[in-house]
Structure 1
Amino acid sequence: MQAAWDGGVRYFDAAPWYGRGLSEHRVGDFLIDKPRDDFVLTTKVGRVFRRPADPAKVDMSKWLGGLRFDFDFDYTYDGVMRSYEQSLMRMGIDTVDALLIHDPDRFAHEPHWQSRMTDMSTSGIKALEELKRSGEIKAIGMGLNRVESLDDIPDMVDLDFLIVAMAYTLLDQTGLAALDRFAARGVSVVIATPFASGILVTGPGPEARYMYQPADAEIQEKTRRIKEICDDHAVPLPSAAMRFPLGHPAVVSVIYGSAHPDEMRSNLASGAKPVPPALWADLKSAGLLSKNVPAPD
């Protein structure tokens, strides 16, 4: 976070789910002594945390670290308000700029998806609208993980912005129609996975990862061809991956995945490198980008 701050980053996004509360502790610890008007802070609602009966038995196999708290999905009015208050206390900061409805994708909730979405669209949204009317938050958002989620879930409530993972990257633009629709409605989009979970930084190879899994042969080959064209233009693959989503009029920001200060500094340097328009034209000519995607300036 210090490397990000030193590099000029002023938008920070956390969530109760990240590290089961640890993310918010760390974000708050870093930002608590910064002038409040100097940064934008967002976090998420949808999970309410509680002490488990036996913390030692909480399954932490998904986490490298993290806090041993258990949780319940709760998209009701009371659940949103409790989640919001818990986040403020974990961070030690008394305001956030926006709250996002976290992970309403179908795959995360079956067989309870329909009832939870009913809670969100009839009850939970009232809490968010109340917080916005009162000035406690400035915007209402939603975080989604699957391209199919973009077709109907955002339409259930009135949103100001979305954080979108995996649906619009240099490797896959299947979310284009949804982004066009959001732009027409004035809904902003933050792209959370410009590196497609890794391969657009590392390039193809035995350790390359795509969609949080080892990259298959088809993705490896497509990445190789994209990298060849980037090399022809003397543009690093990560620079092209970071710049590409910003060409769409709905996209207002890109979240760089960084696990170390050196990675943050490298990402910031890559994002600042110029990308010539001819690179996008060559990718389209090679069939590696959809011809109707808007290219960055």
Structure 2
Amino acid sequence: MTGASAHGAPSRLPFDLPRLGIGTAPLGGLFQEVSEQDAAATLEAAAAAGITYFDTAPRYGHGQAEDRLGRLLAPAGIAEPVISTKTGWLLRPEPDGSPGTVVTDWTERGIRASLESSLTRLRRPSVDILYLHDPDDYPDEIRRTAYPAVRRLRDEGLVRAIGFGMNHGDRLAAYVAEFEVDVVLVAGRFSLLDHEALTTLLPLCAKTGTAVVVGGVFNTGLLADPSDDAMFNYRPVQAETLARAQRCRELCAEFGVPLAAAAIQFPYLHPAVTSVVVGCRSAAEVSANAAASRFPIPDRLWQRLAEEGFVPSQLPTV
């Protein structure tokens, strides 16, 4: 069974994608190391919360996130996970076995080598989604070799769906307009503080039936905890943006709603959005985010957020 996007366009995805997923960059050591014990507990908490969708990539900890999923999902009790990973970058270890460097490779040989390595780490014969990862500045390479390569991988059954994963809505939209795309992952560009994806990407995906997965709903943590030392889009937050996030928290508090709940549920206001993925590094974060995704939000709060510009006027709030 597949869903439908706005304007009645049938979804290109050949399967239903869970509403909430976990992004595994933290399990690869993003910002700080995560112990093996905490990684296992994170996945166990996901199983307890009924979460089965996991987004990963070779670049997350030089393969560590994929390796941990491959080893720890089954012991956590997740027998049939939905997994998306990414390609376009190859890990080049040093002779001494250290992680070494990550290099771009958009050739068919590179695309296949990347996926084969991912499948080895994930201990799986195939994955559900393969994204071309951050191809912002490589349109010629994508057109000539990379996109045809992932289409062939889909035809061969090594992946079920293909798409692009990026941080820029307009550039993603250009790829959706040019290529047949099953799904896109847009990170940080559709949140309570950033509506970039609404201008071109989301309306286009609704029209084409391209499923949209939204990541970065906390904008690197600011919308989880808008404090002075918070990060916003991978940089220290500026005073004006911090004030906006704190105002958003105040409005949510007036209705007894945690800011994190509004941040996680905001993308679902657009009918093209299929799923939200949130990065988690501990069992506590998984439990908190799962609860936030289910927290009841009254229509009046969405209306108040719209009145102050946190929710665009184009989105339905009732």
The two structures have a TM-score, normalised by structure 2, of 0.81
Letter in 2 for 1:99: L
In structure 2, what is the Cα distance between the partners aligned to 1:232 and 1:35?
Answer: 39
In structure 2, what is the Cα distance between the partners aligned to 1:136 and 1:35?
Answer: 24
In structure 2, what is the Cα distance between the partners aligned to 1:123 and 1:25?
Answer: 27
| C-alpha deviation, 1:41, in angstroms | 1.1
SS in 2 for 1:279: helix
1:247 to 262, 269, 273: 269
Q: Residue 96 of structure 1 aligns with which residue?
A: 127
Aligned length: 275
In structure 1, what is the Cα distance between the partners aligned to 2:75 and 2:156?
Answer: 25
Worse-superposed segment, 252-261 or 30-39: 30-39
In structure 2, what is the Cα distance between the partners aligned to 1:33 and 1:75?
Answer: 35
Letter in 1 for 2:101: D
Distance 1:221 1:170, change over 3 A: same
2:116 to 62, 69, 85: 85
Q: Residue 34 of structure 2 aligns with which residue?
A: none
Distance 1:259 1:37, change over 3 A: closer
Residue 20 (1) aligns with residue 43 (2) = no
Residue 10 (1) aligns with residue 52 (2) = yes
Residue 268 (1) aligns with residue 290 (2) = yes
2:80 to 38, 41, 50: 38
Distance 1:151 1:198, change over 3 A: same
2:150 to 117, 120, 128: 128
| Structure 1: segments with no counterpart, 5+ residues | 56-66, 107-112
SS in 2 for 1:143: strand
SS in 2 for 1:255: strand
Contact 1:13–1:41 (Cα < 8 Å) also in 2: yes
Per-residue CA shift, 1:6-32, capped at 9, x if unaligned?
110011111100001111110111235
| C-alpha deviation, 1:199, in angstroms | 1.1
Which of 1 and 2 has higher RCO (CA within 8 Å, sep 6+)? Answer: 2
| C-alpha deviation, 1:289, in angstroms | 2.5
| C-alpha deviation, 1:273, in angstroms | 0.6
Per-residue CA shift, 1:84-112, capped at 9, x if unaligned?
11111122222211211001123xxxxxx
Worse-superposed segment, 36-45 or 94-103: 36-45
In structure 2, what is the Cα distance between the partners aligned to 1:274 and 1:36?
Answer: 27
Contact 1:121–1:156 (Cα < 8 Å) also in 2: no
Residue 74 (1) aligns with residue 99 (2) = no
After the TM superposition, which residues 272-287 of structure 1 pair with which residues of structure 2 at under 5 Å, given as runs?
A: 272-287=294-309
Task: Tell me the C-alpha RMSD between the 2 structures.
Answer: 1.9
Q: Residue 231 of structure 2 aligns with which residue?
A: 209
Contact 1:101–1:142 (Cα < 8 Å) also in 2: yes
Per-residue CA shift, 1:23-69, capped at 9, x if unaligned?
111011123568887221111110122333565xxxxxxxxxxx613
Contact 1:32–1:93 (Cα < 8 Å) also in 2: no
Contact 1:28–1:91 (Cα < 8 Å) also in 2: yes
Contact 1:143–1:164 (Cα < 8 Å) also in 2: yes
The two structures have a TM-score, normalised by structure 1, of 0.86
Q: Residue 253 of structure 2 aligns with which residue?
A: 231
Residue 175 (1) aligns with residue 188 (2) = no
Per-residue CA shift, 1:109-134, capped at 9, x if unaligned?
xxxx3xxx322222222221112222
Contact 1:147–1:166 (Cα < 8 Å) also in 2: no
Any runs of at least 4 consecutive aligned residues in structure 1 with deviations exceeding 4 A, and if so which?
32-37
Q: Residue 209 of structure 2 aligns with which residue?
A: 186
SS in 2 for 1:289: coil
Distance 1:211 1:36, change over 3 A: closer
In structure 1, what is the Cα distance between the partners aligned to 2:173 and 2:125?
Answer: 35
Overall identity of the aligned pairs, in %: 33
Letter in 2 for 1:10: T
Worse-superposed segment, 273-282 or 146-155: 146-155
In structure 2, what is the Cα distance between the partners aligned to 1:266 and 1:285?
Answer: 28
| Structure 2: segments with no counterpart, 5+ residues | 1-42
